[in-house]
């Protein structure tokens, strides 16, 4: 889930599916348009939690 907020109106918007498009040479999220001021919202910064640890369990990896 993405959390966007409008800098002008201070409205927070939660988006589950995002469609990216290029508007005026910038990559924008189509669903992140503010309903009041018709300007694009920006994504709220979230804390980086690191990369996930993946353990591969395919049988071909155990033959080494």
Rounded to an integer, what distance in angstroms lies between the CA atom of residue 39 and that of residue 48?
27
HSE-CB of 53 using CA atoms within 13 angstroms: 0
Q: pLDDT digit string (tens) for 3-35?
A: 888 989 888 889 898 899 998 898 888 898 888
Asked if residue 13 lies in contact with residue 3, where contact means CB atoms within 8 angstroms, the answer is yes
Region 42-55 average pLDDT: 82
Give me 32's structure tokens: 């992140």
């Amino acid at each position: 889930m993405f959390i966007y907020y409008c800098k002008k109106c201070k409205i927070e918007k939660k988006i589950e599916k995002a469609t990216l498009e290029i508007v005026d040479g910038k990559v924008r999220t189509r669903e992140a348009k503010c309903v009041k001021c018709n300007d694009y919202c920006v994504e709220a910064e979230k804390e980086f939690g690191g990369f996930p640890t993946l353990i591969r369990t395919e049988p071909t990896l155990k033959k080494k």
